[in-house]
Amino acid sequence: GLALGLWRRQAALAAAREDEEEKELRQRFMAPPVSGLRELRRRRRELRSRMELLIMETQAEVCRALTALDPGASFAVDSWERKEGGGGISCVLQDGEVFEKAGVNVSVVSGLLSEEAARQMRSRGKSLKAKDGKLPFCAMGVSSVIHPKNPHVPTMHFNYRYFEIEEADGTKQWWFGGGTDLTPTYLNEEDAVHFHKTLKEACDKHDPKLYPKYKKWCDDYFYIKHRGERRGIGGIFFDDMDSPSKEEVFQFVKSCAKAVVPCYIPIVKKHCRDSFTPEEKLWQQLRRGRYVEFNLVYDRGTKFGLLTPGSRIESILMSLPLTARWEYMHTPLESSKEAEILEVLRNPKDWVH
């Protein structure tokens, strides 16, 4: 009887502890996780669960940091389900005083890879052996684009994701991808240095070779070929990262995700009250047009989303600004502030040495 009483008391304590933990997690996130808290806790040692918790935490951290700078505005939180498997949480702020549009999305999806998506992956050198033409996959990530109102505050984008595919013989291929990059309307060297240094510190904790490699990858990836210029002043970008080990890559991705707020928020704080002219606002609109061109023509994530059956178009196109402009044959004056940023977009700089 004594042992049973003790066991009951311990079970009640464990249940109370679990409830407490659940409450705390709920408060930490913007919405309940796609996989459910119980399921995540049950599989908490598995990397998939730890990655889902990381993307949920990153979403909440970034949303809170942005809301603190734009207190009159609030995020619309939209949880959605995908009938083929999984779902996501879209947090979007529109028409604030500081941010014209800011979106921070989480998605956790699973199902069968579409032929078109598999073809896209094979073109990157992945040998995917399908079973009866079917490739079960699981993908999750956090993705964000922030378009501020003030032309002196840069646009920022980040994305961190994990992908897993099960082949015909049951072996699993997995990889991580992601990055963080900055798109200013006007060049501020001090901001560029701060942004790149913060990302470099996050990379250097793991391997000093990573930052230069991923900085170059970022400059090459965000290239608007038909314009001969980069989308912005870069940052870091990587894909198909599957070594040295799952745990080491996960820890690296975690460091990068934790660097998002410190690399960007100080820049917003510094410039969100700067005065600007109608001409500067016009230039920002033209640069936004370039942003749209890259995202719709070249961005791999956008393409993958548009090719995935049952994907949520509103969340995929969240990266597009509320406003943008295209003018025929617009050329800035020589040696103007507008020409200065174009020079850097055509010839990327090393910001940290």
Annotation marks residue 157 as catalytic: yes
Per-residue HEC secondary structure of the chain comes to CHHHHHHHHHHHHHHHHHHHHHHHHHHHCCCCCCCCHHHHHHCCCCHHHHHHHHHHHHHHHHHHHHHHHCCCCCCEEEEEECCCCEEEEEEEEECCCCEEEEEEEEEEEEEECCHHHHHHHHCCCCCCCCECCECEEEEEEEEEEEEECCCCCCEEEEEEEEEEEECCCCCEEEEEEEEEEEECCCCCHHHHHHHHHHHHHHHHCCCCCHHHHHHHHHHHHCEECCCCEECCCEEEEEEEECCCCHHHHHHHHHHHHHCHHHHHHHHHHHHCCCCCCHHHHHHHHHHHHHHHHHHHHCCHHHHHHHHCCCCCHHHHHHHCCCCCCCCCCCCCCCCCHHHHHHHHHHCCCCCCC
Of the residues 152, 157, 196, 271, only one is catalytic, namely 157
- Which residues are tagged catalytic? 157
